[in-house]
Amino acid sequence: MRLLSEPAPDGLEAAVAEMPADGAWRVGLAIGYCSSGVGHTARATVDTWARTLRPRTLLLASPRSFCAGVERAIDVVERLLEQCATGVYVRKQIVHNTHVVDDLARRGAVFVDELDQVPDGATVVFSAHGVSPAVRVEAARRGLDVVDATCPLVTKVHSEARRFAARGNTIVLIGHAGHEEIEGTLGEAPEVTVVAESPADIAALDVSDPSRVTYLTQTTLAVDETRETITALKKRFPQARGPGANDICYATTNRQQALESIAARADLVLVLGSTNSSNSQRLVELAQRAGTQAHLIEDASRIQPFWLEKATTIALTAGASAPPVLVDEAISTLAGLGPLSVTEHTTTTEDIYFAPPAAARSRS
Ligand code: SF4
């Protein structure tokens, strides 16, 4: 790539960025700007932009983007928007993605933090992350028309919590304190459940009967880190039992394995997802542990030019709540910065589908 800057009449300069393509020079950008004042800013912008131009390879992780639980939750709200003339309220973000929430809000969904913001008798959707029994009780007391979009894989963890609590066990819930999914699961048996995030938390546990310890995990954790925490738990409480390996869901596991297969080969990893998306955050951390610079971005507009200056191989993925269209837009953006060779790296294929709850299927 070369950047040309030529004096032009009337105190203007013309900057032209060119890059080689098919044996010839191709103009990437040409602008005119003042050679003083804000013109320097313009020049700096062009310089920065020009440094990002280069031929690149894009490694596309597969699976990526929407999982079955997220598709189901969005489908629930969309169905209700078509069927409920009196409005649709959604407690919390239906899934942790700003684009999804903004789109549904534009189409009429009203997102609230708590049930006291929902009018008596109104239709309210519980998000994919699940709710505690206390929330269900409050909704029933208020006479709300509840449609539950909790992912079936989160519901499974709730069932396990009730089962273990009924046996009189202490439940060690491995996950991030304060995350909505953990709040919901914790609410199933709060008097016998403790939340632990790491091996250090396991070391600090105070358990009344070490022979009656069971564990559950959040569905969207890092597979390798969770393994370490479970190992620490079993070392401290050899009789500890859990639900097989852990409760990390297929979508989280698959997206981590797909990115793991390419992250170390890339100069830069871009993960599409919102900052409150746990599984997206775990993808960024996974790439960083592989030694690669990695960033979580809401969409292509958040790609910073200076990330790209030395990146000739970029790995791209998207968290389970990030819409596929965001991936397409990111590819288009990168393709606008030089010839882009895109290769998809598929570690497994997904064909899981969760049917919508009966309450969302027909309201006629
Ligand atoms: Fe369900 Fe996993 Fe998707 Fe969460 S990430 S909605 S648990 S499938």
Q: What is the pLDDT of residues 299-329, one digit of tens each?
A: 999 999 999 999 999 999 999 999 999 999 9
Q: With a 6 A CB cut-off, is 70 part of the ligand 1 pocket?
A: yes
Instruction: State the burial class of residue 47 (Cβ atoms within 10 Å of its Cβ: 0-12, 13-18, 19+).
Output: middle
Pairing of strands 145-148, 293-297: unpaired
255 CA → ligand 1 middle, Å = 11
Q: With a 6 A CB cut-off, is 15 part of the ligand 1 pocket?
A: no
**Which of 70, 246, 321 best tests ligand 1's pocket when mutated (most atoms within 8 Å of CB)?**
70
11 CA → ligand 1 middle, Å = 58
Question: Over 60: is that where the pLDDT of 140 sits?
Answer: yes
39 CA → ligand 1 middle, Å = 49
Q: With a 6 A CB cut-off, is 248 part of the ligand 1 pocket?
A: no
Question: Going from the N-terminus, what domains does the chain have, and what CATH number goes with each?
Answer: 2-50 (no CATH), 56-65+250-346 (3.40.1010.20), 68-151 (3.40.50.11270), 153-236 (3.40.1010.20)
104 CA → ligand 1 middle, Å = 19
**Which pTM value belongs to this model?**
0.90
Question: Which atom of ligand 1 is found nearest the CA of 152?
Answer: 1
313 CA → ligand 1 middle, Å = 29
Chain Cα centroid distance, residue 50 = 31
Instruction: State the burial class of residue 6 (Cβ atoms within 10 Å of its Cβ: 0-12, 13-18, 19+).
Output: exposed
Question: Catalytic residue among 18, 71, 180, 181, which?
Answer: 181
Cβ atoms of 47 and 40 within 8 Å: the answer is no
Q: Is 138 a catalytic residue?
A: no
Question: Over 60: is that where the pLDDT of 6 sits?
Answer: no
Percent of the chain with pLDDT over 70: 87
**133/35 Cα distance (integer angstroms):** 66
The 10s digit of each residue's pLDDT in 230-257 is 999 999 999 999 987 679 999 999 999 9
- 3-class secondary-structure state, position 89: strand
pLDDT at residue 246 in the model: 78
Question: Over 60: is that where the pLDDT of 142 sits?
Answer: yes
Question: Over 80: is that where the pLDDT of 154 sits?
Answer: yes
Mean pLDDT of 280-294: 98
Confidence of residue 48 (pLDDT cuts 50, 70, 90): confident
- Listing DSSP states for 201-255 in one string gives HHHT---S-TTSEEEEE-TTS-HHHHHHHHHHHHHHSTT-B-SSS----HHHHHH
**Which of 100, 180, 219 best tests ligand 1's pocket when mutated (most atoms within 8 Å of CB)?**
219
Question: Which atom of ligand 1 is found nearest the CA of 69?
Answer: 6
**Which of 153, 182, 221 best tests ligand 1's pocket when mutated (most atoms within 8 Å of CB)?**
153
**226/197 Cα distance (integer angstroms):** 9
**263/177 Cα distance (integer angstroms):** 28
Q: With a 6 A CB cut-off, is 100 part of the ligand 1 pocket?
A: no
List the residue whose alpha carbon is closest to atom 3 of ligand 1.
Answer: 69
Cβ atoms of 16 and 27 within 8 Å: the answer is yes
Cβ atoms of 322 and 273 within 8 Å: the answer is yes
